[in-house]
Amino acid sequence: MTQDFRIGVAGLGTVGAAVVGMIARRAEALAAATGRRIAVTAVSSRDRNRDRGLDLSGIAWFDDPTALARSAEVDCVVELIGGAEGPAKATVEAAIAAGKAVVTANKALLAHHGGALAQAAEARGVALAYEASAAGGIPVIKALREGLPGNEVSRVYGILNGTCNYILTRMEREGLTFEACLKDAQALGYAEADPTFDVEGFDTAHKLAILTSLAFGTAIDAEGVAVEGISGVQPLDLTMAEELGYRIKLLGVAQRAEGGIEQRVHPTMVPKSSAIAQVMGVTNAVTIDADAVGELTLIGPGAGGQATASAVVADIADLAAGILRPTLGRPAAALAPAARVEMARHEGGYYVRLTVHDRPGVAAGVATRMAERAISLESILQRRVEHAASEDPHGRSGRPVPLVLITYAATEGTIRAALEAIAADGLLAEAPQVIRIERE
């Protein structure tokens, strides 16, 4: 057996503590799998005195994570500090410069600086691994980077944020509002005090940007992701989805399209029968459409200390075994430039929920504006409003009522133009709700 593989863990939060514990607990199995004893020899954290339930005796303590990254007693630096800039970035950069192997769970860092870091790591001849950065405990980075090299991928999509899926699941099952479910999610620790990053889709966008690069061999382009969160989803949308045979999920979708790769994050109607529609609560799922395998779906835990540590330790084991692959599946210099496709050119089905004045001719007016732009309607659903009948012999109250349209494939641009015309016609009592449909 060769020398120990010495791990320095920077960041001792839930995940960091789980990693330290897991490496000790699985020492024998890890040594058998990698041919080396793996040992944590250094840690770094802001608070030295917090009780983490870990035996840190014999492990060097660094107040400065970049000093840990440069330590001669460390072969592999595990960055679990978080954040796209600041100490996390400085630690990873210092580790690469010092010729250490690096493992990180930091999706923000990867999404914003992955290309530059990959290039630096390759120039220095060290590995930069990041299985935990997307979809938590699901080994999807490995599947995309190593499992499908014979395939041309046409689409990757998934539920990449457990907080959002938990909220949507409860809204659907219990008919609650977004606000009520968010509050519960916060109480249960599934959502942060400031939930913006999760519920407005930015976390999903970071993860998606990483998956896109691996799936399509393109440079990471987090700024190119069109992002829309779930705070605008109404209980009525979930009721309508149910009635029409769909569920609503916050999906990240990367898809080959004319002229480039679409990257988008938004609430999405998925057919109830699809594998992804079955995924409930904080669970994550990723589906990969590729020419040889057809459809591949991976379902598992998207967060949590143990599940994330599982991904981190898998990376550590690969590096202990001496495996050195190009960070993003191919050398950074060989990545194709990201080619954005404007959302206006996105083509797909749409769920459009209008709030119209309950007057004669409104549905006809709406349908006409759609038809003018060659948008075909798969279904129209007008909801009866209970109080209406008593006020007018024709059952029309003039009051705002929902009118739901499901379109066949149309471009986002034509949908938006039709809705503007409908608004200009004075038919709408409220701004329209638009939710994209993703089919299998």
Residues forming contacts to a copy of itself in the complex (CB under 8 A) are 18, 22-23, 26, 29-30, 32-35, 131, 137-139, 142-143, 146-152, 217, 275, 278, 290-301, 306-307, 309-310, 312-314, 317-318, 321, 323, 325-326, 329-331, 334
Tokens of 235: 């209980």
Among residues 296 and 356, whose Cβ is nearest to a copy of itself? 296
Q: How many CA atoms lie within 13 A of 413 on its CB side?
A: 6
Give Cα 393 to chain centroid, integer Å: 51
- Asked if residue 163 lies in contact with residue 198, where contact means CB atoms within 8 angstroms, the answer is yes
Q: Of the listed 107, 207, 249, 272, which one is catalytic?
A: 207
- Measured CA to CA, the distance from residue 343 to residue 418 in angstroms comes to 16
- Asked if residue 5 lies in contact with residue 76, where contact means CB atoms within 8 angstroms, the answer is yes
- Asked if residue 369 lies in contact with residue 399, where contact means CB atoms within 8 angstroms, the answer is no
- Measured CA to CA, the distance from residue 140 to residue 120 in angstroms comes to 24
- Measured CA to CA, the distance from residue 271 to residue 269 in angstroms comes to 7
Among residues 82 and 326, whose Cβ is nearest to a copy of itself? 326
* Least separation in angstroms between CB 422 and a copy of itself: 38
Among residues 292 and 364, whose Cβ is nearest to a copy of itself? 292
Look up 249 and say whether it is catalytic: no
Please give the C-alpha separations between residue 346 and each of 57, 78, 97, 111, in angstroms, as whole numbers.
56, 39, 42, 23
Among residues 102 and 313, whose Cβ is nearest to a copy of itself? 313
- Measured CA to CA, the distance from residue 239 to residue 234 in angstroms comes to 9
Among residues 214 and 415, whose Cβ is nearest to a copy of itself? 214
Strands (E) across 369-409 are located at: 377-382, 400-407
- Measured CA to CA, the distance from residue 26 to residue 24 in angstroms comes to 6
* Least separation in angstroms between CB 325 and a copy of itself: 7
* Least separation in angstroms between CB 248 and a copy of itself: 19
- Measured CA to CA, the distance from residue 208 to residue 6 in angstroms comes to 31
- For residue 110, the tally of other CB atoms under 10 A from its CB is 29
* Least separation in angstroms between CB 212 and a copy of itself: 16
Tokens of 172: 């659907």
- Residue 111 amino acid letter: A
* Least separation in angstroms between CB 283 and a copy of itself: 8
Locate all alpha helices (DSSP H) within 43-106, ordered by sequence: 65-70, 86-97
Over its C-alpha atoms, the chain yields an Rg (Å, rounded) of 25
* Least separation in angstroms between CB 19 and a copy of itself: 8
Among residues 11 and 137, whose Cβ is nearest to a copy of itself? 137
* Least separation in angstroms between CB 427 and a copy of itself: 41
Locate all alpha helices (DSSP H) within 6-139, ordered by sequence: 14-25, 27-34, 65-70, 86-97, 107-124
Among residues 336 and 389, whose Cβ is nearest to a copy of itself? 336
Q: Catalytic residue positions?
A: 207
